[in-house]
Copies of this chain bind each other. A is one copy, B any other.
Amino acid sequence: MMVHVHVRIVPRSGLLDPQGQAIEHALSALGFSGIGDVRVGKAIELRLDAASPAAAAATARAMCDRLLANPVTEDFRIEVEPE
């Protein structure tokens, strides 16, 4: 079955995120209030041929571990959506 995989990779909490801080300041300057903890990272989407959604999630975790994310500085979250 073909599934859509959405991967979100953001800097670990506790690590400095200058891009997130810049966006937080820019949003405040535009008049948005009540905002905090802005983190900016990568969003990766792909289609995957997998036996099941669980198998797709396992494959996506392996992709993150081996290529997409840096385990020292980044956290990732995976969502699988059947087509």
Residue pair A37, B43 in contact (C-beta under 8 Å): no
Least CB distance from A40 to B in Å reads 5
Copies in the complex: 2
Interface residues of A toward B: which range? 35 or more
Least CB distance from A72 to B in Å reads 18
Residue from the list B30, B39, B66 in contact with A67, Cβ < 8 A: B30
Q: Which residues of B have CB within 8 Å of A36? A: 46-48
A45-70 vs B, Cβ < 8 Å mask (1 yes, 0 no): 11111100000000100110011100
Q: Does A78 contact B (CB under 8 A)?
A: no
Q: Which residues of B have CB within 8 Å of A45? A: 8, 10, 37-39, 41
